[in-house]
Structure 1
Amino acid sequence: MMRQYELVDRVRKYNPNTDEDLLNQAYVYAMKAHGEQKRASGDPYFSHPLEVAAILTDLKLDDSTIVAALLHDTIEDTDATRTDIDRIFGPDIGHLVEGLTKLKKLELVSREAKQAENLRKLLLAIAEDVRVLLVKLADRLHNMRTLGYMPAEKRKRIAEETIDIYAPLAARMGMHEMRSELEDLSFRVLHPDAFQVISARLDQVAAKNSDLIAEIEQQLTAKLAGRGIEASVTGRRKHAYSVWRKMERKALGFEQLSDIYGFRAIVATVADCYAALGVVHTTWPLVPGRFKDYVSTPKQNDYRSIHTTVIGPRNQRVELQIRTHEMDEIAEYGIAAHALYKDDLGSPSETLVRESNAYAWLRRTIELLAVGSNPEEFLEHTKLELFHDQVFCFSPKGKLIALPRNATPIDFAYAVHTDIGNRAVGCKVNGKIAPLITELHNGDEVEILTARGPNALPMAWESVVATGKARAAIRRANRAAVRAQYAELGHRIVERLCQRAKREYSDEKLNGALPRLARASIEDVFASVGRSELKASDVVRAMYPDYKEERATAVPKPEKGWFGLKTGKAVKFKVPGVGDDAIPIRGINSDLPVRFAPNGGAVPGDRIVGIMTPGEGITIYPIQSPALVEFEEMPERWLDVRWDVDVDESNPQRFPARIAVQSVNEPGSLAQVAQVIADNDGNIDNLKMSRSSPDFSDLVIDLEVYDLKHLTAIISQLRAKPIVAKADRVVG
């Protein structure tokens, strides 16, 4: 275990002005606070915060961050409080330690929800002070190094969290060395057999090619020196996890990998980077498609380097990175490479907002993620946003947009602005019309075509987008659209009830009744009515206390094939769907939450009734549907509805119906049935076929038709076919 003076010496090497008394005080306080606590390994618990502090001294961080590392578990695992830390070490350090403390006594039902809420708290603390992130990553790194002492199930859970969240977070902050170690440590736990096999193969290749690596280093150095470019060239073996991930992503065997080794040339200036590139490309052939210039176009995490692959000595592929010393430091240490301990630069976070695109991105992302998501969605969106493989696309005006791999123009639209995404109806990729689900590639120019007003978003968008921002925005828009549908339905129900009760409806009247309804707004009232969470009669009674509801029960009228309403002692029958106050139904693509009877549907021309289902809106049934019998004793769920279908010759709307066909069992009979439907412009949505006897087959076909006349024509032509014994409509 590191001694007190050793820690002070490590800090003094890079910061001669360190506050030794503060470091000593924190060392002693943390050691006493943790007392006799032990780790799973049996080591004193204090050894852990001490090792975390040691990792941070390698990153050359300021005194407050080192002290926070020593104290980071005191509030969570000892009797120390935030008040104690503030009093002894000051509020700045107290704030850092508080940001690293997990939430206690979370009243959440799932482990994922608890994980998400702790992550949310951590990210919000990081947004306020970047040093929280640096301590947390060092904390996770030491925990991963000592993970072998944990139970197997806990090891796996911690490794999954590390590879899903903390390794990508380190990558997003440009801390590639830490990311690589976190990935390899997680890989060892999650896929031990693969880790052992790949590590063994890498060791074999290293032993076999040790002289080749030295030869490539010498030749590259000599070639560059011959052109007056002083460069430090080193070869390095790729990490096991990155090799495995490439094999998985590209479905390659180990023998097919040609870039197990990478070489790095460190030069003095940006001009030397491009001069070195010229030397390399004029000496050895370039491998097509393997050149990337992150110097002129840096990554979002501030990474800058030139990447190229050439056919080098002994016809071996040489993957080369060319960068300056400053670029190399940022590539290895990311945001920690900024001199956080220097005086007169403002707070570390303010400095990084000015100097680091990575940290500025993180703060913007956290602001987006922190609003309006439940814990599980927050965790999902965070994982999406931290995914570090990127493509770079351009707007028509030249704005660079960085997106994850597999991103689509929908992601691009939301990256530009949420309103652009919500109004997107099409796109052009590199000047050509393309589907909105097209996968984008580096260098693509993307133009988003938008509607003038808000656009109904397809539910499928949520499953195809690659960014958390897009997914969250789509969910919000769809929730708002569904809520608007329920509110519109509730509005119509309340207005029509007022009409039948001969009472005047007004927003002012309802607004005054909100306290009695325990709702915050008129829209909340209507949405509750639309979802069947609040009865329309209760709303009218809240506006008019003297209103008395007529209790009604639904009764069948079998001989007429429809249902009536019984009020009081007299029986009064009416044909549903024809009253002036009936709610108009336009179909499923309307402003109301509408669906059709699941076993047979309904089509224009049918007399229809609506049944309210809590949380699902209106289900439309034909009046002759036998399924309506089960709602006979629930009159409060019945709605008077009517068709209100616009005739659009260019894009007519289809409606669901079901038919049952009995056909002769002979070759081609199914084709003939399908041909009749196709010839009549019907659309088969689903088909079930069974054998009723050796000579006949029974078909149940779900169709989409325009109206009752269209359906009747299809049934008539099916009956006229010699191979059809029976054809009838099914009403469920």
Structure 2
Amino acid sequence: MRQYDLIERVRRYNPNTDEALLNRAYVYAMKAHGEQKRASGDPYFTHPLEVAAILTDLKLDDATIAAALLHDTIEDTPTTRAEIDQVFGPDIGHLVEGLTKLKKLDLVSREAKQAENLRKLLLAIADDVRVLLVKLADRLHNMRTLEYMPAEGRARIAQETLDIYAPLAGRMGMHHLREELEDLSFRQLYPEANNLVRERLDALAARQSHLIAEIEQQLTRKLVDSGTEAVVTGRRKRPYSIWRKMERKSVGFEQLSDIFGFRVIVKTLRECYRALGIVHTTWPMVPGRFKDYISTPKQNDYRSLHTTVIGPGKQRVELQIRTQEMHEIAEYGIAAHALYKDSKDSPSDMLSRESNAYAWLRRTIELLAEGSNPEEFLEHTKLELFHDQVFCFTPKGKLIALPRKATPIDFAYAVHTDVGNHAVGCKINGKIAPLVSELNNGDEVDIITSPAQEAPPSAWESLVVTGKARLAIRRATRNAVRVQYAELGRRIVERLCQRAKREYSDEKLTGALPRLARASIDDVFVAVGRGEMRPSDVARAMYPDYKEERISPVPPPKSEAGWFGLKKGKAVQFKVPEADQASSIPIRGINSDLPVRFAPNGGAVPGDRIVGILTPGEGITIYPIQSPTLKDFEDAPERWLDVRWDMDERSPQRFPARIAIQSLNEPGTLAQIATVIAENDGNIDNLSMKRHSPDFTDCTIDLEVYDLKHLNAIISQLRAKKVVAAAERMMG
């Protein structure tokens, strides 16, 4: 394409085009790229020129065409943003910078780099939609010339296009562009499937060409006879769309009934419904196949009537009925809106008033930009770009569009984050239903909330399908865990100060924040609770003269009244933790406000003398003081914590314990063991058995009991059974 060819293409739809601007951008970009070559061997400048040509098909403004010509100059040449601003103005400079990838990314994984560049692009799109239009045209031309890239690069770019850019085009209502991106990606990623589907399509089209023409003629004649002018055109589905449907529904090519469809373009909205009535009174409608996207448009502004009838020759005929304006929006999406007419408003401001799709995109980008790590951002973005939707309603009639397979949990978060966080139940169409139910088109969903639920269960994250819900659940879970770690860290620091006979205050710690390189005291407590910062370092930051007295406990024999440890290199005996109630951290149970877990191979129960081991990232692990595992922590005295039981007798809880049983190998043995445990109100959490000899079996049982007295009573009664040779408590 020559310079004058591009100008002529723009002049066809914009007679008042600024030819001087376009000529200046053409020459500037050509000189900037100089001798650069593409993978095909063509001059690099052919790429931005073709991108600009694609945008002329969308009838875009001069600034966007100029930005397309310049879009790679900052990224791939010595050109700077300041130079672009000086020559072309800040508006075009802003667009070009929005299309420039981040170069200096010190990130390990390719996914992280991809996500950070996508984040930058989406933020630029939220500021000006023209960035998106140039980017999609850029990706389309790259996909059209992808065969010149190395095989590995082709697969990566095609997958990225299929995962992100094609769905993004679909979300923006750019149906035609989305389909071409999907088909080009399909050709690269699944060449055999692509060739097979195309061969089947061509063969079917050859066999049914006369039938397609006949249906077009009959439909047109019937509508004209009824006083409705219409243009009827036949079309066939694209290869990727057919293959995806075959995969999703697990059907063969021959079982598809909507490979061919017809569009009926009429003049007015009233004629859409009139044409629908004519079609339905002429041919029988297929039940369940009618959809009215005019009264309830899709989020990408798509509007049309869909129906399927048994038409001429007893063939199923899929119809889309729409006006010319609806058709342009269906094909070109946001680019079809009259954005760039004379107005003092920015294109994005104008579009936000006219396009639901762009309004959705801006809200989504604002949500995604809230600080998740790069991999999560990429995951949430892909989730948000799903375009197969169901439409549900609130009890007040508000329409909520969700991806297919969405649950009431997704619905709750779509209404408001607080509604999702406090959701405890739901009604679907007036009936109580599980929160994990799959929603269908037209469902009325009433979310039941409770202030008692402060945060959603973390398990919900694996049940939802929308990025907004998943992000909100993950954030709420993190906040809840952060609160737990902060509370643990506070208790550790306060008790350390008590033992050192130093006064603790938030004001004192606030003054020490610069020495700890933390922004807030909560950050300090979280770091201590997670095991990322030593409590003695916090004490030293508050009191520079603080000297740590390290004590490394060692488990004693069962008969000892105290426990042993090393103090200044010498073995000494210490009293049990109960001797220092004030400086010990109270342990109430798993459901407390502290991140607490119990020894994985044996647990701990009230009545045991216990010690806490601080595990980085996991909180406190509680061990009985006689646990042999504690020897593994002798060289890490800073991880030992004084802890004590603090039980609420009004709300008894069960705690984990493990017992080993050697039993006779005869029928009914296991039943007798289980009966003893059940009669004593114990709960079996896990059980494993191993044949010890022909006459005996070793059985390991993980129990839940209330306290040490309860556990000993169960063990005592097990020993009394004739089928039990031995029963002992196990400690890991």
Judge same fold: TM > 0.5, yes or no.
Answer: yes
Give 1:595 deviation, angstroms: 0.9
Contact in 2 for aligned 1:38/1:45 (Cα 8 Å): yes
Contact in 2 for aligned 1:389/1:404 (Cα 8 Å): yes
2:517 paired residue number: 518
Deviation larger for 35-44 or 242-251: 35-44
Counterparts of 2:452 and 2:510 in 1: how far apart (Å)? 28
1:653 paired residue number: 653
Give 1:370 deviation, angstroms: 1.1
Give 1:591 deviation, angstroms: 0.9
Q: Secondary structure at the match of 2:577?
A: coil
Q: Secondary structure at the match of 1:645?
A: coil
Give 1:453 deviation, angstroms: 5.2
Question: Is 1:39 aligned to residue 38 of structure 2?
Answer: yes
**Change in CA separation of 1:541 and 1:101 when aligned onto 2, cut-off 3 Å:** closer
Alignment of 1:187-198 (within 5 A): 187-198=186-197
Deviation larger for 652-661 or 148-157: 652-661
**Change in CA separation of 1:669 and 1:257 when aligned onto 2, cut-off 3 Å:** farther
Question: Is 1:575 aligned to residue 556 of structure 2?
Answer: no
Counterparts of 1:182 and 1:456 in 2: how far apart (Å)? 41
Question: Is 1:225 aligned to residue 224 of structure 2?
Answer: yes
| Amino acid paired to 2:581 | D
Deviations 1:435-486 (A, max 9, x none): 2222222112222222215623322112221111122222221221111111
| Amino acid paired to 1:631 | F
Give 1:572 deviation, angstroms: 4.7
**Change in CA separation of 1:653 and 1:241 when aligned onto 2, cut-off 3 Å:** farther
**Change in CA separation of 1:647 and 1:239 when aligned onto 2, cut-off 3 Å:** farther
Deviation larger for 718-727 or 495-504: 718-727
Deviations 1:82-137 (A, max 9, x none): 22222222221111111111111211111111111111111111111111110110
Give 1:498 deviation, angstroms: 2.7
Aligned-residue sequence identity (percent) comes to: 79
| Amino acid paired to 2:656 | P
**Change in CA separation of 1:204 and 1:590 when aligned onto 2, cut-off 3 Å:** same
| Amino acid paired to 2:301 | D
The answer for unaligned runs of 5 or more in structure 1 is none
1:355 paired residue number: 354
**Change in CA separation of 1:227 and 1:615 when aligned onto 2, cut-off 3 Å:** same
Alignment of 1:588-599 (within 5 A): 588-599=590-601
1:385 paired residue number: 384
Counterparts of 1:538 and 1:26 in 2: how far apart (Å)? 60
Q: Secondary structure at the match of 1:117?
A: helix
Give 1:61 deviation, angstroms: 0.7
**Change in CA separation of 1:721 and 1:221 when aligned onto 2, cut-off 3 Å:** farther
Deviation larger for 524-533 or 132-141: 524-533
**Change in CA separation of 1:95 and 1:634 when aligned onto 2, cut-off 3 Å:** closer
1:617 paired residue number: 619
Counterparts of 1:523 and 1:378 in 2: how far apart (Å)? 26
1:455 paired residue number: 454
Q: Secondary structure at the match of 1:275?
A: helix
1:118 paired residue number: 117
2:465 paired residue number: 466
Q: Secondary structure at the match of 1:263?
A: strand
2:436 paired residue number: 437
Q: Secondary structure at the match of 2:617?
A: coil
Deviations 1:126-156 (A, max 9, x none): 1111111101101111111111111111000
**Change in CA separation of 1:639 and 1:331 when aligned onto 2, cut-off 3 Å:** same
Deviation larger for 317-326 or 568-577: 568-577
**Change in CA separation of 1:157 and 1:639 when aligned onto 2, cut-off 3 Å:** same
Counterparts of 1:708 and 1:422 in 2: how far apart (Å)? 38
**Change in CA separation of 1:199 and 1:726 when aligned onto 2, cut-off 3 Å:** farther
| Amino acid paired to 1:575 | V
Give 1:335 deviation, angstroms: 0.3
**Change in CA separation of 1:637 and 1:276 when aligned onto 2, cut-off 3 Å:** same
**Change in CA separation of 1:165 and 1:106 when aligned onto 2, cut-off 3 Å:** same
RMSD of Structure 2 on Structure 1 (CA): 2.1
Deviation larger for 698-707 or 257-266: 698-707
2:530 paired residue number: 531
**Change in CA separation of 1:715 and 1:257 when aligned onto 2, cut-off 3 Å:** farther
Give 1:318 deviation, angstroms: 1.5
**Change in CA separation of 1:646 and 1:5 when aligned onto 2, cut-off 3 Å:** same
Contact in 2 for aligned 1:75/1:82 (Cα 8 Å): yes
Give 1:31 deviation, angstroms: 2.1
Counterparts of 2:681 and 2:266 in 1: how far apart (Å)? 70
Counterparts of 1:653 and 1:677 in 2: how far apart (Å)? 17
1:687 paired residue number: 687
Counterparts of 1:36 and 1:678 in 2: how far apart (Å)? 83
Alignment of 1:77-96 (within 5 A): 77-96=76-95
Structure 1 runs of 4+ aligned residues shifted over 6 Å read none
Contact in 1 for aligned 2:564/2:571 (Cα 8 Å): no
Counterparts of 1:329 and 1:517 in 2: how far apart (Å)? 60
Give 1:52 deviation, angstroms: 1.0
| Amino acid paired to 2:424 | V
Give 1:516 deviation, angstroms: 3.3
1:601 paired residue number: 603
Deviations 1:12-50 (A, max 9, x none): 111111112222222222222222222212222222111
1:644 paired residue number: 646
Alignment of 1:81-480 (within 5 A): 81-344=80-343, 346-452=345-451, 455-480=454-479
Contact in 2 for aligned 1:305/1:323 (Cα 8 Å): yes
Give 1:729 deviation, angstroms: 2.1
Contact in 1 for aligned 2:555/2:625 (Cα 8 Å): no
Contact in 1 for aligned 2:605/2:657 (Cα 8 Å): yes
Deviation larger for 285-294 or 447-456: 447-456
Deviation larger for 313-322 or 324-333: 313-322
The answer for unaligned runs of 5 or more in structure 2 is none
Q: Secondary structure at the match of 2:313?
A: helix
Counterparts of 2:272 and 2:553 in 1: how far apart (Å)? 83
Deviation larger for 699-708 or 151-160: 699-708
1:628 paired residue number: 630
Equivalent residue pairs, number: 729
Deviations 1:557-608 (A, max 9, x none): 3152562456567945322356422212122222111111011111223222
Deviation larger for 84-93 or 11-20: 84-93
Give 1:643 deviation, angstroms: 2.0
Contact in 2 for aligned 1:430/1:445 (Cα 8 Å): yes
Give 1:506 deviation, angstroms: 2.3
| Amino acid paired to 2:531 | S
Q: Secondary structure at the match of 1:209?
A: helix
Counterparts of 1:277 and 1:578 in 2: how far apart (Å)? 85
Counterparts of 2:202 and 2:597 in 1: how far apart (Å)? 62
Counterparts of 2:228 and 2:544 in 1: how far apart (Å)? 91
Contact in 2 for aligned 1:577/1:640 (Cα 8 Å): no
Deviation larger for 552-561 or 599-608: 552-561
Deviation larger for 583-592 or 294-303: 583-592
Contact in 1 for aligned 2:563/2:573 (Cα 8 Å): no
| Amino acid paired to 2:605 | V
Q: Secondary structure at the match of 1:460?
A: helix
Give 1:700 deviation, angstroms: 2.2
Deviation larger for 284-293 or 710-719: 710-719
1:61 paired residue number: 60
TM-score (normalised: structure 1): 0.95
Give 1:70 deviation, angstroms: 1.2
